Chain A
Amino acid sequence: MHTPLIRRILWVCAASFAFCFALIPLYSIYCEITGVNGKTGRAQAPVAAIDDTRLIEVQFDAAVNAGLPWSFRPKVPSMRVHPGQLVEALFEAGNEGATDLVGQAVPSVAPNRASLYFNKTECFCFTEQLLRAGERRQMPVRFVIDPGLPADVRVLTLSYTFYLNDIATDRLAQHSVLANNPAL
């Protein structure tokens, strides 16, 4: 008597468990479409038309997550750029620790509603960044601001946070152990 009902309830439970995992891709698609969370637009070829009637101030912000002994800062605090213009900005990162570390930079653009108009064509955040102990390096980002940017947005902030990529760092440490001990 109870079996059909229980079967239906268990389907609800299974659907709800699956829904929980489905939220991961759904959330990321949602953020990509709406620009919520400061996710930036997709990389595109530079737009031909440069709108030189507008100047947008792009501010740079750099932070390092606790657990990664790096220094990290932008070369210049801000730039003034025309929409449609391909711009390169430089950040400088240095490994202050005693070991080789792999970091991953995560970008975010504020305000949220402008983030979809911010297109990076090349960025150090696209890949893992390895810095040997004591190494310093300049890291470039190239971007174009889409001329469709809402007219009332005059200031944008591009923010990066560097996180320790512990999986890649562990892999690196193992490789170097193997390299130093051929017997293994």
Chain B
Amino acid sequence: MAHHGDHTHDAAHDGHDDHDHKPSGFFERWFCGTNHKDIGTLYLVFSLIMFLVGGSMALVIRAELFQPGMQLVEPDFFNSMTTMHALVMIFGAVMPAFVGLANWMIPMMIGAPDMALPRMNNWSFWIMPFAFALLLSTLFMDGGGPAGGWTLYPPLSIQGGNNVAFVIFAVHMMGISSIMGAINIIATILNLRAPGMDLLKMPVFVWTWLITAFLLIAVMPVLAGSVTMLLTDKYFGTTFFSAAGGGDPVMFQHIFWFFGHPEVYIMILPAFGVASEIIPTFSRKPLFGYQAMVYATASIAFLSFIVWAHHMFTVGMPLGGLIFFMYATMLIAIPTGVKVFNWVATMWRGSMSFETPMLFAVGFVILFTIGGFSGLMLAIVPADFQYHDTYFVVAHFHYVLVTGAIFSIMGAVYYWLPKWTGRMYNETLGKVHFWLSTITVNILFFPQHFLGLAGMPRRIPDYNVAFADFNMISSIGGFAFGLSQLLFAWIIIDVCFLKRGQKATAGVWEGARGLEWTLSSPAPYHSFSTPPKIDDRMLAHGDVAH
């Protein structure tokens, strides 16, 4: 099992885990390298940069919406900001961050020496900067960037200038990158587990990523196909989505959301995995209901394929369709509820402590649940007819994506940063970052529920004066939340480059369980070149019998 691909260790060196054969030279290591930890780092750094880029776009949006009337930007630029913000945050910030975490942690969690396909791993990362160069370059073109919304609904989305072709090719490249990443993760998990690491002994983070990877290979090609049809509709005279030529624009919405709904679970399942790692550690108890967590994740993944039309209740569907998609959507609350109650039960009577990762994990459970509840409200067809395309929807998906996915990523970074760098981050600053983020994110998004219920539509640069006060509050929260993230960047720089903070032990956290904590901190450049012996007591969920 130690023999595969480009691994630089030959068999004679196995057992000497800790002498690091790092590639010599910056270019060789960071551009040509295939080490899973380096590539994980590249993904995470790329994601942080994209998070700040996408965040700046959000600040343009919130600045314009600070007051009613047109103040700062042209309406078309505003629309391209909402479109680009979403594309950058989804494909550039959240997804690469989880792929980065997977690259870093999965081999260390299952006792593998590296990812299964290291050369492809390098490829799947290095496609991303080019994809985003294509996407972001549209902002400097005649006619500006894409302004039809990230969902790319035709006919609006293909009425832009040449940005259409750039966006579509960028989406193709992101899709290829995601698919290669997913193939790598599946191959690693299925083929490279250390002897004794049965599937049902894997950490929940690994499980959630395995299921996420299957979602990715199932739906990313659907997105690629649908944007290819947009491309041929615009440039090659096909009429897939043009009513004039016998096509149907509503069909695009069906195809898009057949991709789009599994996509939202692609962004949240690994977050569930992260929470399932952090909460047991700081509750000093095994995860409650390990197998229930695994089955709930699989159920959510299955259900994600049969609920897509709840994004388009107002297009004029037959009653039977509305009822089916409403109930199927509500059904998702059951496995999700299983997870939330399992996290709460894990904390119940635990010996809890609240270091920064735990704060983010608990914040995640509470705030994600709020987002889940507003999702249930949106699932109710008659209510959705009022909420559709209002700020209520904006509030809902930002609760699940910002305080859900992003909070879990931040929690994961604080949790594993000592393992990655060998140094503790500044705990005081970490806590300040958590509280600033949590308070400001609620000032930012909570009033948007009220705006939506009062009827403010999304994706508009100007609005009725009746909505003025809540928008101002939301914008203040937006700027405060945005600026708070500079503190996050500083805390990382402080540890990674200034190398301050005390040295971390191998275990780092008192209650931490799992193979990654048996390695020294920082984790050696090559780890588990010989498979570790699995000791069940060291596994994250401890009791494997239940």
Contacts and interface: CB of A to CB of B under 8 A. Distances in A.
Interface of A: 1-2, 5-6, 9-10, 12-14, 16-17, 19-21, 23-24, 27-28, 34, 36-37, 65, 104, 106, 112-113, 161, 163-167
Interface stretch (B122-130, B179-187, B477-485): B179-187
A142 B531 CA distance: 77
A19 to B, nearest CB: 7
Contacts of A21: 225, 229
B318 A34 contact: yes
B222 interface: yes
19 contacts: A1-B4, A2-B191, A9-B186, A12-B217, A13-B220, A14-B221, A16-B220, A16-B222, A17-B221, A17-B224, A20-B224, A20-B225, A23-B255, A27-B254, A28-B248, A36-B317, A37-B250, A104-B244, A163-B242
B245 interface: yes
Interface string B162-194: 000000000000000001001100110011000
A16 B248 contact: no
Interface string B226-266: 10010000000100101111001011001100100000000
Interface of B: 4, 116-117, 179, 182-183, 186-187, 190-191, 217-222, 224-226, 229, 237, 240, 242-245, 248, 250-251, 254-255, 258, 316-318, 321
B248 A13 contact: no
A20 B226 contact: yes
Q: Nearest 3 A-B pairs (CB), nearest first?
A: A20-B225, A163-B244, A17-B221
Interface of B is mostly: helix
Contacts of A1: 4, 191
B222 A106 contact: no
A174 B179 CA distance: 44
B92 to A, nearest CB: 22
Given A17-B225, A23-B255, A106 B244 contact: yes
Contact of B237 (A16, A112, A164, A167): A167
A6 B183 CA distance: 7
Contact of B243 (A14, A23, A161): A161
Contacts of B258: 23
Given A2-B117, A16-B219, A24-B240, 14 more contacts: A1-B4, A1-B191, A2-B187, A17-B224, A20-B221, A20-B224, A24-B251, A36-B317, A36-B321, A37-B248, A37-B316, A106-B244, A165-B244, A167-B237
B222 A36 contact: no
B148 to A, nearest CB: 15
A161 B258 CA distance: 28
Contact of B222 (A20, A28, A165): A20
A167 B190 contact: no
A158 to B, nearest CB: 16
Contacts of A6: 117, 183, 187
B244 A164 contact: yes
Given A6-B187, A9-B217, A36-B317, A17 B222 contact: yes
Nearest to A9: B183
Nearest to A35: B318
A115 to B, nearest CB: 11
A65 B221 CA distance: 32
B255 A20 contact: yes
